[in-house]
Amino acid sequence: MTKKKTILSGIQPSGKLHIGNYFGAIRQHIAMQDQGDAFYFIANYHSLTSLNDGKKLYQNTIDVTLDYLALGLNPEKATFFAQSDVPQVTELAWILATLTPVSLMEKGVSYKDKIAAGLSPNIGLFTYPILQAADILIYHSDVVPVGEDQKQNIEICRDLAGKFNRAYDGEFLIIPEEYIVKSVAVVPGTDGRKMSKSYKNTIPMFEEGKPLKKVLMSIETDSKALEEPKDPEKDNVFALIKLFADESKQTEIADKYRAGGYGYGHAKLELLELVEEYFADAREKRKELEQDLNYVMDVLTEGGKKARERAESVMEPIREVTGLVRNF
């Protein structure tokens, strides 16, 4: 019997999840829960690099769980848990840190990008890839679905796993492979840059009505007049429309752009309709789940228990080979 591949990915609870999170990661997570042994975690340790509000972090953790369950995560198929419920991950992170050259961290593109975006250059942010590597390696993960911007961090993870295996002369850690969906690797935000909470340019998934309309109407466009023909492939609104519309609808809207007499306001209203329709069922499911928070907490509790069991099985031989537990 062929062993199912272990799939691992995480998401930060640093604020409301948005459509960039959905198309860049969550949609793949939901689809892949049927393709292997899936472990998905809420990266609350990682979020401490930018969020220092305990009550907000706790609420964000609940909100992320609600979002995933509403969007179709099945806790009978996938192990869903909070990162902090698995203490073995920080244990492994320290061990990996002792093998990590400072120069490797200094090359981190993600770190440089976050500092440029205004985040504090703290040590947690600097060593983020080491903890991320531990997140992946502690479950013997085979496949890691991530966004294009995380590709370097997966390479660092693979490098650290190889360093550990060579240092202790054995196959203690599995070398994982990244899984990136190229067509939606970067989802544009309201200002045209990559959608990110750091840039404050996000479109929340579960917003509706006037608040959602206000966000969509703020999407930046060029200054072409209503009557002028427009190139849909150079427009932020159309880039978002393509995520929600089928091929026929995309063609219909693209033709309106090129014909003239179709303004960006019209396109934004069509996008509003598409977004509302796309998330309608999930939005209602989320409202139902909000009335049963005991179930939501049970999902995290059971997921944490299963994750700890897997993590402990990986850590036992590592403690022995490193001498942290006597084996002689």
CA 202 – CA 194 distance, rounded (Å): 9
Residue reference for tokens 């396109």:
267
Could you give the C-alpha distances from 61 to 64, 82, 325, in angstroms and in order? 5, 8, 34
> In sequence order, what are the beta bridge partners of 79?
39
Lateral strand order in the sheet of 177-179: 78-82, 37-42, 6-11, 143-145, 177-179
What is the CB-side half-sphere exposure of residue 275 using CA atoms within 13 A?
A: 29
Give the angle 255-259-265 at the CA atoms, nearest 5°: 80
CA 149 – CA 146 distance, rounded (Å): 8
Q: Do you know the residue count of the chain?
A: 328
CA 17 – CA 6 distance, rounded (Å): 25
Computed from CA positions of residues 101, 105, 107, 108, in that sequence, does the dihedral angle turn out positive or negative?
Answer: positive
CA 220 – CA 125 distance, rounded (Å): 30
How does DSSP classify residue 25? Answer: I
Strands 37-42 and 6-11: parallel
Residues involved in catalysis: 114, 194, 197
